[in-house]
Each structure stands twice: as C-alpha cells, then as structure tokens.
Amino acid sequence: MKNLNKNYINGEWVEWRGDTIDVNEAATGDVIAKVPASGRAVMEQAIESAQSAFESWSETSLDQRIKVIEQLHAGLKERAAEIAETVSREVGMPIKLATGIQAGLPATVTGSYLKMLPDFPFSEQVGNSEVQKVPVGVVGCITPWNYPLHQVILKVVPALAAGCTIVLKPSEIAPMSAYILADILDGTDLPKGVFNMVCGLGEDAGDTLIKHPAVRMVSFTGSTRTGSLIAHAAADDFKRFALEMGGKSASVILPDADLKAAVKGTVNNCLLNSGQTCTALTRMLVPADLHDEACELAAEAVGKMTPGNPLEETTRLGPLASAQQRDKVIDYIKLGIEEGATLVTGGPEAPDGLEAGYFVKATVFGNVKPGSRLAQEEIFGPVLCIIPYQDEKDAIRIANGTDFGLSGAVWSGDQDNAKKIAGKLRTGQVFVNGGAFNPLAPFGGFGHSGIGREFGKWGLEEFLEVRSLQL
C-alpha cells in the first residue's frame, strides 16, 4: 500500500497529519493507498501560493511556458507504463486499453498543444486596437475519477500555456495518477507556486476552492448536480467557469446502415471503461423493424467482452471504480426490469467467479421507452438501451429528447444523409459512421452536459480574458 499522505504546495511536498481517505483497487476492493482528507486551511494555503506566483508566471514568455510543457510531455511518455497500471488498478480499465487511453491520451493532448501554441494569436491588430488575450488568473481545477489523468491534463496544460496558476483537487477515488503528474512537474523548470495540488473531499477542500475570492476561474468535470452548485457559487463572485458534465448520448442507426458494424461500434463505445465514460453511446436508436435483429447483434457483441482482472492483457471488460458506483449501476439494472424493458443479456448479478471487487455484468435492454428513467438518466456503467423508432423525424426527436447533449453518433450508407442527420442533433460532438476522435476539435456539451469547450484552441481560450488597447 502506498502512503501518499502529502499535498503539493508552493513547489514542496507538504506532509498531512490529519484524517486520510482510502483508495481501493477496483478489481479486489483492497486498499492500495491513503491520501489526505485535507480541509479548508490547507486549500487556502495552496490558493495563496498560486495567487503569489501569478504575477511573475503570467509575465513569462511563451517560449518559457512551452519549455515547461515540453518537459511535462517527456515525463508523461517516460512514465506511461506506470500511469497505465496505476489507473487500471484505481478505475478498472483493462491494461491494454489503459495503456493507449489513460496513459496515451494525456501525452497526445500535451503534444497537440505544443504544436498549436507557437502560432496561437495571443495578440492581434483590429483597426486601431491591439486585442490581447491574457491569463484569467488563479484557476481551480476539479477533476473526476473515470479518466483521472486525462481530465487533469485537459485543464492543467492549457491553463499553464495561458499563463495561469493552478490549484488542482483531483478525485479522491482515483488520485494516484495526479501524484505522478505533480512529481513530473516538480522535476521541470516550473516556478514554485504555479501548480499546486490538494487532495480532499468536495464539501471541505472543493468548497473552499470554488468559493475563494482569489480563484478567478473554476474548471470542473463531473456530475451535473455538482456542476450546478459550482455555477451558482461562481455567480456570487462573478468567476469564470467551464463545466463538462454528464451525457446520455444517442447512436442513431439509419435503415440503410451496415447494421452489424453500427451495432458493434455502438456496443464498443458504450462499454469503454465499463461504461464509465461521459460520452458513452448508451442509447441505440434503431428502426422498429430492425429492433430484434439489433438486440441479437448487441448480445453477440457483448458476449465477446470478457470480464476479468484489468491487469491481464486478455481482459476486455473491467470492474467499476468503486462499490458505490457498482451498487448504483445494479440499482439501474433492477429499475430497467421494473420499468418493463426487455432484458436481452446481462442482469444485476455479479459475473461468475468475480464476486470480489466492483464487477457488473454488461447489460443490454431492448424495447426501452424513450421517456423512461433508464433512457433519461446517466447510469455510468455497462448498460445499453435499445430504443425502436418509426422514421428519421422520430429518431431525431428521441435523440434530442433528454436534458443532455454531450455526444452522439449517426450510421448510414449515405454519408451526406448521415451528416444531415448529425447536424440536427443538439449535442457537442457527433461521430459520423465511426469517425475518429480528434484531439484538436472542440469538446463539450449542450444543455445539462456543460458550458465551455476543451481541446485545441477552444480549450486554451477558456483560460484567457480579452483586453483591447485603443491606439
């Protein structure tokens, strides 16, 4: 078991002598680390450190900031294997996927900013005005447990590039990769106080970070309920905020699509990270006359997703990240049965031989009613809802018939028609016929899925204010 009973403040590892939080291994439930349950006083110390460092860091040259990000990029690549295993143990993502996603994506995103930054227009001439983009100030970053390092990098790298200083509160469920990040940054040329990390619970450390007057922006990824609380708190002090929250994304399979490929693509997306993905395609919309065939294909695809120890190379489906999340997902599976949806495969019982840890059977429901709780609420687990529709207009209505709007997909034999339907979905991104994820494209949601965008120039602009010099 690792003793991570420290916070990183003003360029130093500061020992914590209070209560601690257990970090559990997803596959076994065993305690694998202890981290601080830091309170308000420690968080205030970190914020003061960031505030003191802001003036000098905000005035550094872009070349100096790029140099630090280059050093971070090298460290992420060097410690990729360690990061992958750490997140696999905390979150439950199979090691093969964790290597490419949980460890690979943070390095890819960091590299994308290194390519973009030299040409980014931090200043431009508009008539007789010089329009400047300047750092917003001290940024509070609050990040989730499902992609723990990736979501940190999406905030920390553009914030550093913008010239902001940072206080990070990582998820207490999966904090260990954030400690690796802090250790990497500690070995760079980053000045003291620019990056700070405090581990603790939301009601103490998180609440202080959100409400402190020196924090001029809050960047949050997590639940819609917490996002709403942050928005209200930020409004009282007119803070900037960026919120990336939940989803209930629809995969619209049109009648002329390759049904087998579309179902397989949807299932693979839905079950990525055991469904613990905000962009998961958890609602599969199919023509009514293809519903039964789609259910059979989905059951076949799910049957190939072998659950097991996430540290084994052959595992396709790992556990959930916590006992609380496992129990929540099981309750939703029971609810689906109560609501009258057809249980195609899976169920509320633990997979055979995997009663320890936080495993849940990959579950598919057919004949799901669009207005049911199963189809409306984010489950955040390996549960797919198959919903029949009558025509394209009906499919669009159902796809847009939730409070969320984070992601989606359209499948069709006609690419132009697929793009047309995609353009009618009220969501932040749409995968057309399995199009590849692009780390330079904006990412964020409509409605209850959030405010603001991450990735690329849009992610950088979230951390910048605009100032005009009239000349």
**Residues with catalytic function:** 244, 278
Name the one residue in this structure whose structure tokens are 């002090």: 237
Query: How distant, in Å, are the alpha carbons of 300, 301, 466 from that of 353?
Result: 21, 21, 58
- CA–CA separation, 412 vs 254, rounded Å? 5
- The 10 Å Cβ neighbour count of residue 232 is 10
- Rg of the chain, C-alpha, whole Å: 22
Alpha-carbon gap, residue 64 to 70, rounded angstroms:
10
CA angle (351 as vertex; 347, 356 as ends), nearest 5: 125
Distance CA 449, CA 403 (A): 8
Q: Which of 100, 56, 359 is nearest to 191 (CA)?
A: 56
All residues at 6 or more sequence positions from 297 whose CB lies less than 8 Å from its CB, including other chains: 259, 260, 263, 264
- What DSSP letter does each residue of 226-274 carry, written as one string? HHHHHHHHHHHHT-EEEEE----EEEEE-TTS-HHHHHHHHHHHHHGGG
Terminal CA-to-CA distance of the chain, rounded, Å?
A: 61
Nearest to 348 by CA among 322, 376, 316, 382: 382
